[in-house]
Amino acid sequence: MSAAESLEAHVRDLAVCERCPSMHRPAIVTKPVQSKVLLVGQAPGSREPVLGKPFAWTAGKTLFRWMGEATGLDEESFRQRVYIASVCRCYPGRNPKGGDRVPNETERASCRPWLEAEMRLLQPDLVIPIGKLAISQFMPVGKLVDVVGVTYSNVEWQGFKFDLLPLPHPSGASTWHRMEPGKLLTIQALDLLSAHPAILGLK
Ligand code: SF4
């Protein structure tokens, strides 16, 4: 099986995963893009299952605006060149206290093998975790202010090595990236992203 066929098979298997009883299936999958850039979100929201792709709604609008500024690529071109994963691939449902439920540790652990498989299949040079939950899969995070605006070179994770460039979550519910110091740190991170060789290689 070629690398492209293996990735297509992986995405097909992922799309029908039923490991987590409390998650709202189906899993939201990306295009099987053989990319050296891997973007990792948190989990889909309620609109993504309807629209059938990750970052399909309001957070996506901000995310793809950021990515457009950093890469010069419009949303569709970015989706065709970057593999989009997430900590959990299914919509977790509503939190009774408001907003969407954050996936619990069991769900995160159940979904992690999909991400590990993607690391094996893609061998990415650059991983872009979006938001605290995604960043915390790769490194300890106290406050976002301590980790955004920096490229972490040659990070080791589960036997893989890559550069890690954390970004805040672009959710409309979050004000972090719209207020200082988050605003400046986000611009700093996007500047670093625009100059990274893996991003330059996308064009
Ligand atoms: S969250 Fe991940 S592990 Fe759980 S059912 Fe969805 S795809 Fe499978």
Q: What is the CATH number of the domain that holds 145?
A: 3.40.470.10
Report the DSSP pairing between strands 160-164 and 152-157.
antiparallel
Instruction: Sort strands 160-164 and 83-86 into parallel, antiparallel or unpaired.
Output: unpaired
pLDDT at 105 over 90: yes
pLDDT band at 50 (very low <50, low <70, confident <90, very high): confident
φ, ψ of residue 38 to 5 degrees: the values are -120, 120
> What per-residue confidence (pLDDT) applies to 135?
98
Distance, CA 26 to ligand 1 centroid (Å)? 8
Pocket test for ligand 1, best of 88, 108, 137 (most atoms within 8 A of CB): 88
pLDDT of 99 reads 86
Q: What mean pLDDT do residues 31-35 have?
A: 96
From 22, 89, 112, 116, give the residue whose CB has the most ligand 1 atoms within 8 Å, as the site to mutate.
89
Residue range(s) defining the domain that contains residue 111: 3-200
- The ligand 1 site (C-beta within 6 Å) comprises 17-20, 23, 27, 88-90, 107, 110-111
| pLDDT band at residue 148 under the 50/70/90 scheme | very high
CA of 183 relative to ligand 1 center, distance in Å: 33
Going by C-alpha positions, the residue among 133, 166, 171, 134 that lies closest to residue 57 is 171
pLDDT per position as a tens digit, 51-89:
999 999 999 999 999 999 999 999 999 999 999 999 999
Nearest to 11 by CA among 38, 37, 39, 30: 30
Within 8 A by CB and 6+ apart from 96, the residues are: none
What band does 44 get if pLDDT is binned at 50, 70 and 90? very high
Q: Residue 9 has what pLDDT? A: 98
What is the pLDDT averaged over residues 172-196? 94
Residue nearest to atom 2 of ligand 1 (CA): 111
Evaluate if residue 203 carries a pLDDT over 80. Answer: no
Number of domains in the chain: 1
